[in-house]
A and B are shown apart, each in its own frame.
Chain A
């Protein structure tokens, strides 16, 4: 009865995948599609585009798995394809948005100085977790440039290490750290502005 149930799920076999084994590819899809969908939904902010990108990601993976050399893990490789597909979708939607590699040109200068000093960190959890706050947070993420947004989502929301985030984005750890700091500061600024208004404080 228990014989078919495994205690942990094995990574699909790269050899089978490279040979075009469909059952093995289906296994890969089931293992990662939920995570990939959640990631691209966060980057794109709407379900229709997220679903398109999800499908393009696995189509692309299926077409190119024979050439995958295994220098990174399968998951890093898949997340890289997904991130690139999501960035291409953004470029299609908003051709004016800069996807510059260094991410240095988004909204002006390097590190913005903090501007809002509302002290909201110790508000009751109910106030911090309200639906309105969550919607503020989602909007704030969408306002980040794609370069900052992808780093923040991969590192802070998905919880990948700086190293893995750098591998997924094919950049170095220093760039990830700089972008992460800038993303975090901007998001803090947005939340501080919001809470500052709600606390009735002039920040």
Chain B
């Protein structure tokens, strides 16, 4: 099936796949054509990408605070295995 002209609404449901690079080539081309012509959609795509990027940067280190770890081991009755690494 050929998609002739994407409108803003059609585009919406493909956005996630598009920013993840998972959109098939034909649809991708149509979408980029639409973006070329539609400034608002371009802003939505750019800011959507940036939103995801900002949240991904939020990644913090996954070290458990010492006191939380200690209470967890006691709760699980594993305090004999509380060694400091």
| A interface with B by C-beta (< 8 Å) | 22-23, 25-26, 29-30, 33-35, 37-38, 51, 54-55, 58-59, 62, 111, 113-114, 117-122, 128-129, 133-134, 137, 141, 152, 156-157, 159, 177, 180-181, 184-185, 187-188, 191-192
Q: Evaluate contact between A184 and B68: CB separation under 8 angstroms.
A: no
Quick one: which of B47, B54, B69 contacts A137, CB cutoff 8 A?
Answer: B54
Quick one: which of A38, A122, A184 contacts B48, CB cutoff 8 A?
Answer: A184
Q: Evaluate contact between A128 and B16: CB separation under 8 angstroms.
A: no
Q: Which of B20-46 contact A (CB under 8 A)?
A: 40, 43-44, 46
Question: Across the two chains, which residue of chain A brings its CB closest to B63?
Answer: A34
Quick one: which of A111, A114, A122 contacts B44, CB cutoff 8 A?
Answer: A114
Residues from chain B with Cβ under 8 Å of A114 in the complex: 12, 40, 44
Residues from chain B with Cβ under 8 Å of A118 in the complex: 43, 47
Consensus secondary structure, chain B interface: helix
Residues from chain A with Cβ under 8 Å of B46 in the complex: 119, 121-122
Consensus secondary structure, chain A interface: helix
Bound-state CA distance A65–B24 (Å) is: 42
Residues from chain A with Cβ under 8 Å of B64 in the complex: 33-34, 37
Residues from chain B with Cβ under 8 Å of A121 in the complex: 43, 46-47, 49-50
Quick one: which of A23, A119, A177, A187 contacts B55, CB cutoff 8 A?
Answer: A187
Bound-state CA distance A102–B49 (Å) is: 25
Q: Evaluate contact between A181 and B72: CB separation under 8 angstroms.
A: no
B52 at the interface (CB under 8 A from A): yes
